[in-house]
Amino acid sequence: MGLAAYKSVIRESETPRQIERRVLTRITGALAQNATIYDEASSAEERLGILYGGLGESLIENQLFWNMLKNDLASKGNSLTTDLKGSLLSIALWVERETNSVMGGAAGVLDLIAVNKNIIAGLAGIRPEIED
């Protein structure tokens, strides 16, 4: 089966919510590969090396996901409640600020992963775990 046919089967057999959960799960897994070593690095220079080693690409992909979600939330056709849209837009803006900070060499990848995991749980219909 060609790639185009495979993508067509996925679109026909998965709901948008399932697709979003699958994509965000994959992105979050990619972020997790270097998150602890990055956040525990002793210097910004060490963190920048990890960013250039592949983490930066995962952060960009995560940011693209959140930008697409932000655009969808702002569209007239979005049927979510106003409160939920507002909350998700607020999270999307936080992700944008946090990603910019991390790309500049600050710790914070584990925080991005925690937010993604809570959204993944929500998309799966599971009550997210709130850490103290």
**Geometric angle at alpha carbon 60, from 48 and 38, rounded to 5°:** 35
* Domain carrying residue 108: 16-123
In a domain? residue 54:
yes
| 65: number of Cβ within 10 Å | 20
Count structural domains, the chain: 1
pTM: 0.83
d(CA 26, CA 97): 22
Residue-wise pLDDT tens digits, 94-122? 999 999 999 999 999 999 999 999 999 99
In a domain? residue 10:
no
In a domain? residue 129:
no
In a domain? residue 131:
no
Residue pair 123/17 in contact (Cβ under 8 Å)? The answer is yes
In a domain? residue 4:
no
